[in-house]
Copies of this chain bind each other. A is one copy, B any other.
């Protein structure tokens, strides 16, 4: 009937508007039941459960055998970690897989069969699930004793497929690959030509004394390649040059030429290429988000305009205000926006809305939310008013900063004086007394500010919340200290009591005080700009970080599978190769550097290793290679680390720099424009940053896209 039809239209409009708000695609089924399922699927609870499932399955790596649940990861001291009984992690995994199965079936149903076959991501999702389940069955049938678990490497895919941002980012990284590949090829040519040169230059001579360079760095092709690759990462810089340079100064020319060309030119060229490719990236992604939003709103308009209530006589299609109000009440959206739209709607005298009016109404969604702080309390007493003026004044805040600085300096002085003292010689009286004084001041400051501003207004500022929380924690710690150890007095050096020693308590208090000093940041203009840029960047980088996590996870699991147990404590292995005749260790070897905690035995450990080798390139890498001379995993480890270095350090860091440049330059330009408005706190989003350069989609584009909708049949 007409009523049921109307209900359907209203529901469709609600879903389309929700899609618009969250920048979702509107290409899904639009019948009543599907709409209910769609809203349920995208409800907060459902999405939260899905997110939790992904987190759980990724986090399993820390608990599974080899588990990371030991305090140290040093193979020499580590006790055998607790390993979960067979079946525990496996049953959690099965539960996750079942949830993913549910997820994939709902998703496939909602987009419809026709679209399903076109969607490669969903196909890959199903394939991954099938492979994982098969692997799981194999695992159980071997009673968890099998060595290779493919499903572990596949896990990060679940994270990837769940984020549309990450998929989009992956696509644009993909389109940059050909050019990156050219530069990497150029680097490879550079490296191989110089390797040949080096091998010819530092060939073996008859005089064995002069052969140092050859013996250590250029003994054969793989060694030479490695030496120069590591030089490209600048990790072995003066060392690799020293033996040749010691013979003749002129040899330094070779190394300097190599690094100038490779490191200064080619590596930075990679940055330039990636920056050039990603220059428009943010803008493009914001533009496509805007298009989705406009499309969702237009779709809502179209379905509402086909409601039976509307007079058929109207030439132009239009929407009744009543229907829109009904939709708005049911739609889930930010209450501020909802109220603003309702208000505009009520003020508007007309009864019918045209498409343009309808769009304009929803522009409220794109606007800055101007944050309003609650008002200060109004005191009657003249004295209180004066107090309020004094302690609400910015100068009182500056005074607080000065006191915090004084506290920092006093801690610093005590640290310098106590640096070399034995713990037993240390006298905690001075530090205890001054900290007590400063904490009392902080408490007083907090109370006076609350008095001046009122609790609500006080808490509405993030900097005050940060301050207050730390002050309260400090106070509690201080009271606990005094109740256990008594008040400070000269020669205050009590015995260990309770959970923490006095010394630990004092250290903790000091650390919190140092941390509290960060409150000065918003007071310095440039710092504030930098910090907000960084925070913005973190928001925009989420998709990139996600992709890095995906790659990282796969690498870490592969690393564990390949190299687990490769590091064996000294004594178990024949250490003959790494020691001198008189029993001391040779320099630069794994054993001498005491890299025992760096091994591949568990996931947490692998994360730390990857961090080191990713960012600091080759230090660990060289260490592992030197260690290689003893063991036989050498070649694999080399290839593995070079691949990881390329992906994480070369490509990802450059992506990061590109985004930082993009973000910062936009922000900087904007700062100059908005100087005058700087008092108002904007809750800025990326969308807002680009607002003045964005292009509004035209009506034709929107309608064309709407007519391509696979499930929605528009009347006209």
Give the B-binding residues of A (Cβ under 8 A): 68, 70-74, 77, 179, 182-183, 186, 193, 196-197, 199-201, 203-206, 219-221, 234-239, 241-243, 245-249, 252, 256, 259, 263-265, 268-269, 271-273, 275-276, 279, 408, 411-412, 415-416, 419-424, 503, 507, 510-511, 514, 517-518, 526-527, 530, 533-534, 537, 580, 582-585, 587-588, 592-598, 604-605, 608, 611-612, 615-617, 619-620, 623, 653, 656-657, 660-661, 664-665, 668
Contact = CB atoms under 8 A, between A and B. Distances in A.
A252 B199 contact: no
A423 B205 contact: yes
Given A242-B593, A276-B664, 11 more contacts: A74-B246, A193-B514, A200-B514, A201-B507, A221-B416, A234-B616, A237-B616, A271-B660, A276-B661, A582-B583, A587-B593
Nearest to A422: B204
21 contacts: A70-B249, A73-B245, A182-B530, A193-B518, A196-B412, A200-B415, A203-B507, A204-B423, A234-B616, A237-B616, A238-B595, A239-B619, A245-B608, A246-B596, A249-B605, A252-B608, A265-B660, A269-B534, A271-B660, A272-B660, A276-B665
B514 A220 contact: no
A252 B247 CA distance: 41
B511 A657 contact: no
B200 A619 contact: no
A184 to B, nearest CB: 11
Given A204-B422, A246-B594, A419-B220, A237 B612 contact: yes
Given A200-B511, A237-B615, A526 B584 contact: no
Contact of A511 (B182, B201, B264): B201
A275 B653 CA distance: 17
B611 A248 contact: no
Nearest to A206: B423
Question: Closest 3 interchain pairs by CB?
Answer: A237-B616, A220-B419, A587-B587
A668 B186 contact: no
Contacts of A219: 419-420
A203 B503 CA distance: 10
B507 A657 contact: no
A511 B197 contact: yes
A103 B70 CA distance: 75
A196 B530 contact: no
A268 to B, nearest CB: 5
Nearest to A616: B237
Contacts of A623: 238
Contacts of A71: 247-249
B517 A239 contact: no
Contact of A597 (B200, B234, B242): B242
A584 to B, nearest CB: 5
Contact of A661 (B275, B424, B587, B595): B275
Nearest to A279: B665
A585 B584 CA distance: 10
A199 B415 contact: yes
Contacts of A269: 530, 533-534, 660, 664
Nearest to A537: B265
A665 B416 contact: no
A188 to B, nearest CB: 12
B615 A239 contact: no
Contacts of A275: 661, 665
A249 to B, nearest CB: 6
Contacts of A422: 204
Contacts of A526: 179, 182, 186
Contacts of A593: 239, 242, 587
Contact of A507 (B200, B259, B534, B582): B200
A263 B183 CA distance: 24
Contact of A582 (B252, B419, B582, B598): B582
A338 B597 CA distance: 74
A424 B183 contact: no
Nearest to A182: B526
A175 to B, nearest CB: 15
Given A193-B514, A237-B619, A423-B205, A594 B242 contact: yes
Contacts of A588: 587
Contacts of A199: 415, 419
A504 to B, nearest CB: 9
A411 B707 CA distance: 65
B73 A249 contact: yes
Contact of A196 (B201, B279, B408, B582): B408
A597 B244 CA distance: 10
B74 A238 contact: no
B72 A664 contact: no
Contacts of A668: 276
A345 to B, nearest CB: 44
Contact of A664 (B196, B206, B272, B604): B272
Nearest to A76: B246
Contact of A268 (B423, B615, B656): B656
A575 to B, nearest CB: 16
A587 B595 contact: no
Contact of A660 (B201, B268, B279, B511): B268
Contacts of A514: 193, 196-197, 200
A611 B234 CA distance: 12
Contacts of A238: 595, 598, 612, 616, 619-620, 623
Contacts of A653: 264
A269 B70 CA distance: 37
A665 B272 contact: yes
A595 B237 CA distance: 12
Given A201-B511, A246-B594, A657 B530 contact: no
